[in-house]
Amino acid sequence: LIYAHFPPEIKSAYHQLLSSYLRKGGIVIFEAFSKKHINYRLKNENVGGPKDVESLFSEEELKSDFANYEFSELTEQEIELNEGLYHNGQGSVMRMVARKK
């Protein structure tokens, strides 16, 4: 799931649905903007990402949404984006690699 941001009222349910399609032992690779990213976006609109903080992710949300997974990576990182016209500048992302138990 790479930059798969959804409205806050459905994002956890969507993660549950996607999880139901993955077999035991399957791996989810995830990267999306973290809740801290909103601060970067306020300083620089060119960095892109959702305008609504509730559409962004936290470590706690990912642990909850993927509770039946073993995490080999779950980190929040500051990154430098250089992705064309709409994603330039410093931002904050959540990165996760997890195996379904």
Inter-residue contact 26 to 97 (CB < 8 Å): no
**Per-residue pLDDT at 44:** 92
pLDDT tens-place string over residues 22-76: 999 999 999 999 999 999 999 998 899 999 999 999 999 999 999 999 999 999 9
In three-state secondary structure terms, 101 is coil
Cα gap 33→74, rounded to integer Å = 13
Give residue 54's pLDDT.
95
**Topology of domain 8-100, CATH:** Rossmann fold (3.40.50)
3-state secondary structure of 99: strand
Q: What is the pLDDT of residue 42?
A: 92
Q: Which residues fall within 8 angstroms of residue 27, CB to CB, at 6 or more apart?
A: 97, 98, 99, 100
Q: Where are the domains of the chain?
A: 8-100
pLDDT of residue 86: 80
**Residue 66 three-state SS:** coil
pLDDT value at 83 more than 90: no
